[in-house]
Structure 1
Amino acid sequence: MAPSTRRRVLAVTGFSLAPLSGCLTDFGSDDLGLATPEATPDDDWSEPDWRPADATPAEDDVDATTVVAGLEIPWDLAFADDGAFVTERDGGVRRFDADELAETDGTPLGPDDGETILEAEDLPDRAAPGEGGTLGIAVHPDYPDTSELFVYYTIDDGGTGNRVVRYDLETEDLEPILDDMPGAATHNGGRIAFGPGGALWVLTGDAEKPALTQDPGSRAGAVLRVTPDGDPVSEPVDWGDEGDPRTYTLGHRNPQGIDFTPQGTPMIAEHGPAARDELSILRPGGNYGWDVVRGGPDDPEYDSYDEHDEATPPVVNTGPETTWAPSGLAFYDDDAIEAWTNHVLVAGLGSNALYAVALRPAGDGVDESNGESDADDGTRYADDWLDDRFEATAHTLFEGEFGRLRHVEPGPDGALYLLTSNRDGRASGEFPLEDDDRIVRLDPA
């Protein structure tokens, strides 16, 4: 463990949550059924109370400005009050002034123009194998009255795992709140966000052990929902005696994006195997099928969602021929960029693109034909085996312009902020550029 600096680390030595039971590390996917809750929760589904996106987004709707350059693989960005908190996968946490990011219109800021909040060595047991490192960040919803940051990062304490810590900016106390999340060189998940009711949502990957995602007690390949102390929420999903009450959904491969509709419904984006990327509107207790189910009836390698009643289908599955490599996402409900209002924005890594997805209640004034079609007005996803609550149309923006995009985050001024990920060893072509990695601001044109 790296020595701590001036920051006080609370209860790290020997720290662990309650032991987990039922882990399926000795089983392959062929031996598994699909895990379901003891009782299927009511997801209180109702028609959206927000206006579906009704315009076609275009690159000309915005002006792009690089506001920070020279970062070291930025991974997440969270705005709160007058601050913009950024994680770097191979580093720690920086804070930039939000007004400076909104007003910079010339020479971009550099890393040293931000305040270093946490160094890498301030995070106990921190490791950075492969795609691991310092990943997600969230700010307490009552900030600045409650001056707490939450950071998700990869650890090595005798084995690779992932941990969420809470850091008090005033007292400089750092405390683990969620541990025992499996980790590996890849598939660490990592995004965290506060949602409705003040719960903290945590995305975990399958840690290169797909069988774990069908074990309700493993915390792998799951969406977890906890209090700011890391405890289960007051009304958890009931997975039975062997399950973890922190688990909201499971059966995920490597989810890296989460946000909420104005109605408070959670949605995630996750990486698929050799394409088959997904955007899902979560249902409590949902099982998203990995690694048994991952496509439609014509998929040559994986079972179809319509063959398994226990599986919860996504809104978008890109199929075996198309990859988005999705990471962070945002539901953009601001009116500043009018044509983009109420689109789900998804940052693409391997695709080097930003996706704007319009969601519409199924059958609500849309051509009833099924299938996926490419046209000037986007790619439509409306197959019978997908989530029957919505139809989706995806538009591809800025393909190849900024390189790999790790995250997209709305700012307090209505602008959007993109994080590039061109120094992570996977860029191609002209990338990385000399000023990578960057934060790029998109303003209304």
Structure 2
Amino acid sequence: MKVATVESLDHEGRGVTRDGGKVVFVDGALPRERVACVSYRKKPTYEFAHVQEVLRPSPLRVMPRCPYFGTCGGCTLQHLEPGAQVAVKQRVLEDQLWHIARVRPEVLLPAVHGPAWAYRHRARFAVRYVAKKGGVLVGFHERRSSFVADMESCEVLPPPVSRLIRPLRALIGGLSIRDRVPQVEVAVGDAATVLVLRVLEPPSAADEAALRAFAAAHGVHLYLQPGGPATAAPFHPPLEADLYYDLPDFGLRVRFGPTDFTQVNPYVNRVLVRRAVALLEPEPGERIADLFCGLGNFSLPLARAGARVIGYEGSRALAQAALRNAEANGLRGLMQFVVANLFEVDEAWMRAQGPFDKMLIDPPRDGAIAAVKALGADAPRRVVYVSCNPATLARDAQVLVHVKGYRLRAAGVVNMFPHTAHVESIALFERDA
């Protein structure tokens, strides 16, 4: 055991201190705290530790609401006051932009945030049959472990979903295939909740009866998924209406499948979409590209403003779903969707798409380095970049600013995942016409 004073938090939400010339990352410690900690992994230049005792607590330390915090790996920052969590994420974003790209935004945007609890409308529970625990465990993985946390509730899930954890344990524990159900995916729409059970073997007739009774008792719709995500199929009861979420600022309804990618936090997503559209300032008749468009989360609002939008998406199924959303919202005449591997595009491909007035980029964690390198002399004068990884945003910003001639006009964090160290952000790049 060692005693240390914590200097800062790293991008994973761990306290950072030093022991001689070695950096020590301390789980559960906050800046300016004096802690006693125990190392659990040592390397020549750094090590990892966890707090054994807080000797001098931070004034920003709060009591975690969840009884499983510290064991469950779903949240890492419940012990830090929510407003301070946002400030930490803003610092992580600024640090990454400076250290990786050597660029600072001209304007820091106010943080986008929403409810701190019960916000998570998408989740993937791990399922394990553990005889020594007395049956089946359903929940998130333990921190730093492949084991499933022994939990019966979750404070970041909507209460009706949180209350399903214990009944799900009983349901799956009573199935003949209880050791062949490795996960349950949760998708909450504005009017329905779907649970997708991954089944490695078909359920028996008795299993099917139990599943139907569970769905009826808890008001959920069950899907069974024997293979990859595309194999998920309705089981019981049939959905009377599609899964969807509304974007009321734009008069839009976005329909999705239970295994399609949607933002986890619908409250923050509404604000994020509003901000992205405001930063891009779409005008009627402008030609706008939406890279990594998914279901049309940003494409549809941009088209609602009268712009001609071309959405690019690597998944054919998602592009087809986006087209259906355009048709259902009366925007088909303003929208086009193209299937393209945006991780392999080059300048010739981008040039073949024709000139765009503006562009929105919303990539996965890997970022959009090929796409930004592909921008040529006729590149759009304004780019809004929505990022779920500040490191790849900074890497791409380095190209946009120092190679392609853009200015980083504004950037700010989007607190899509309260109580976690996950940093979502939005940035505006502009260059002279």
Q: Give the TM-score, by structure 2 length.
A: 0.32
Q: Which has the higher contact order (CA 8 A, sep 6+)?
A: 1
Higher strand share: 1
Task: Decide which structure has greater helix share.
Answer: 2
Structure having the higher Rg = 2
